[in-house]
Chain A
């Protein structure tokens, strides 16, 4: 797109496209909500939206993937992708939970390491994520292999770690202070606070400008003095850290950790970001958009259970929505580009 625009117009166009894209996702959210509301009155004879409990579960059930999606959004803005996040969730859940067990549980994994203060398992979970992110970033930045390959390898590796750690046994019976991390609406609060922090980071700081610059034009970003390699390591490290955190929240919520946790979370997270207007080519995307993308997922999950529709259809509809969102976004971007061109 930037090829066809003069430099001064490029900034305006990017801003315009960012706003219109978010607006469109928001429109999608409202449309889906209204469809369920209407069907609710027809099929179930009750309101879909005017139900506090349903509204809270809608966002609660997507907050863990949402935390992952915030990191993934930043990676996608740099033009990369992170396939390792789901496996990282699983591994960090296992390792964190093994340090969060109560002493009254006879089958604790480390009987001498029970009843530890909650900071220990949380730090362990975050540490796993951070380490994964750093390795991802270093491999991608300094060997220049495609992020798809690097993180694909990491995805397989970390699932191996999750399985190997206890040879597949689940880890359960955490302390009450650990459970508190995932209790009630806490995961939602964590998700929203992280989203707000990431939003500020991306829109108001040098970090954000560099992230967008790298994704818009890799070579130009390097020539303009950005230490591209170092910055990429930082972005992947943040994404890894958030996956690790998601593993902690998920295991606290489930009050158990299992090696298979987080399977396909990476794809759900990417889908949320893409529905929210992230371009897989890089340089475009917002945290707010991803948040809306997550809400659309939550809306569908709750809506289908509400209408008592089979889970088979849920997956089909999810697939259709991802593609439809990107197709409509692509059309809009083209129209916008023509408009900016015309005004030149």
Chain B
């Protein structure tokens, strides 16, 4: 009885992992830096759905849970299990050299997706990087905010900034983008009055904005590193009776919730990053490298500005 139970459990596990496939299939080992992030989830699902449409391609997806060591172990295990190619979203973009070396030594094609490794310019043959250029997102966002404020005729615009998780590359870059745009002569009428980290989270952002309002901080615009925090800001402003629609609230990601907020007039600006496109692109690049097709070292999938005027085209894409 006990043995039977054990066998059943084992069989269950085998079917869960999907390792009992045919031997001729191309297996791609995928290591994600994290799982529980909306954007990454769309990317992951885009990748999985795309792979399902390709006959003979199997993905084995694992979660490194933000741990550099765990990710390296996963990659070693993938190589030991004889995967045909690797797709990696590196936990630590400055520690990608170790991953590159592992793949090169095993002679397995490797594609970095979404997160730019620091060795991107020196990648060996058989390796590539696919993403959107992070420098574009915050720039597109802030330029549009600048344009809107200019259009409204604000002479000295006060801007409050909601930053993503501290130490995160996208949070750092997007915040720097804001400052770079403000440093240009066209947008120098904007001034940052405060900058706080809400760790990408809606509720935390709402709490910060309520704290701002309660200490009498005045602002014409709130520029958030992502839509979730922008929505949190909108909720807090509504709750404290502020005229949300007179302010310029901006986010990034064009999530479903973000587009809904844009539809009701409270979110003015967001930026679309093609998550599913990046996921699918990663798989395609890995297969291309497997066949020996030459590939650009960096393949960029462009960010796109989303405003009430063009928002309909982005519905249901992220």
Contact with A along B145-168 (1 / 0, CB 8 A): 000000000000000000000100
**A311 cross-chain contacts in B, Cβ below 8 A:** 166, 196-197
C-alpha gap A167/B231 in the complex (Å): 23
Contact with B along A254-280 (1 / 0, CB 8 A): 111011100000000000000000000
B114 in contact (CB, < 8 A) = no
Binds A, one of B1-9, B33-41, B50-58, B92-100: B33-41
A54 in contact (CB, < 8 A) = yes
A328 in contact (CB, < 8 A) = no
Across the interface, name the chain A residue whose C-beta is closest to B213. A53
Across the interface, name the chain A residue whose C-beta is closest to B240. A53
Residue from B45, B215, B228 within 8 A of A44 (CB atoms)? B215
Asked whether, in the complex, the Cβ of B166 is within 8 Å of the Cβ of A312, the reply is yes
If over half of B's interface residues share one DSSP class (helix, strand or loop), that class is named, otherwise mixed; here it is: helix
**A51 cross-chain contacts in B, Cβ below 8 A:** 214-215
How far is the CB of B254 from the nearest CB of chain A, in Å?
14
B207 in contact (CB, < 8 A) = yes
B208 in contact (CB, < 8 A) = yes
Query: With contacts A46-B216, A172-B257, A305-B196 known, is A253 near B203, CB below 8 A?
Result: yes
Asked whether, in the complex, the Cβ of B207 is within 8 Å of the Cβ of A301, the reply is yes
B44 in contact (CB, < 8 A) = yes
Interface positions of A from 119 to 171, Cβ below 8 Å from B:
159, 162-163, 167-170
How far is the CB of B164 from the nearest CB of chain A, in Å?
11
Asked whether, in the complex, the Cβ of A57 is within 8 Å of the Cβ of B235, the reply is no
Determine which residue in B203, B232, B316 has the highest number of CB atoms from chain A within 10 A of its CB, and name it. Answer: B203
C-alpha gap A340/B277 in the complex (Å): 71
Asked whether, in the complex, the Cβ of B36 is within 8 Å of the Cβ of A258, the reply is yes
Determine which residue in A107, A184, A301, A311 has the highest number of CB atoms from chain B within 10 A of its CB, and name it. Answer: A311
C-alpha gap A107/B255 in the complex (Å): 12
B180 in contact (CB, < 8 A) = no
Residue from B35, B212, B257 within 8 A of A170 (CB atoms)? B257
Contact with A along B181-214 (1 / 0, CB 8 A): 0000000000000101100001100111011111
Asked whether, in the complex, the Cβ of A107 is within 8 Å of the Cβ of B316, the reply is yes
Query: With contacts A260-B36, A305-B215 known, is A61 near B45, CB below 8 A?
Result: no
A306 in contact (CB, < 8 A) = yes
Asked whether, in the complex, the Cβ of A256 is within 8 Å of the Cβ of B44, the reply is no
Asked whether, in the complex, the Cβ of B214 is within 8 Å of the Cβ of A53, the reply is yes
Determine which residue in B208, B210, B316 has the highest number of CB atoms from chain A within 10 A of its CB, and name it. Answer: B210
Asked whether, in the complex, the Cβ of A163 is within 8 Å of the Cβ of B35, the reply is yes
**B207 cross-chain contacts in A, Cβ below 8 A:** 57, 60-61, 301
Contact with A along B3-40 (1 / 0, CB 8 A): 00000000000000000000000000000000111101
Interface positions of A from 164 to 189, Cβ below 8 Å from B:
167-170, 172-173, 183-184
**A57 cross-chain contacts in B, Cβ below 8 A:** 207, 210-211, 214
Query: With contacts A44-B215, A260-B37 known, is A305 near B208, CB below 8 A?
Result: yes
**A168 cross-chain contacts in B, Cβ below 8 A:** 35-38, 40-41, 44-45
The 4 closest A-B CB pairs, nearest first, are A168-B41, A260-B36, A305-B211, A53-B214
Q: A256-B202, A305-B211, A305-B215 are in contact. List 14 more A-B contacts (CB 8 A).
A: A53-B214, A57-B207, A60-B207, A61-B207, A170-B255, A250-B203, A253-B206, A254-B232, A256-B231, A256-B257, A306-B214, A306-B215, A308-B194, A311-B196
18 contacts between A and B (CB under 8 A): A44-B215, A46-B215, A51-B214, A53-B213, A53-B214, A54-B211, A54-B214, A57-B207, A57-B210, A107-B316, A163-B35, A168-B36, A168-B37, A254-B203, A305-B196, A305-B208, A306-B215, A312-B166
What is B's interface to A at a CB cutoff of 8 Å?
A: 35-38, 40-42, 44-45, 166, 194, 196-197, 202-203, 206-208, 210-216, 228, 231-232, 235, 239-240, 255-257, 260, 316
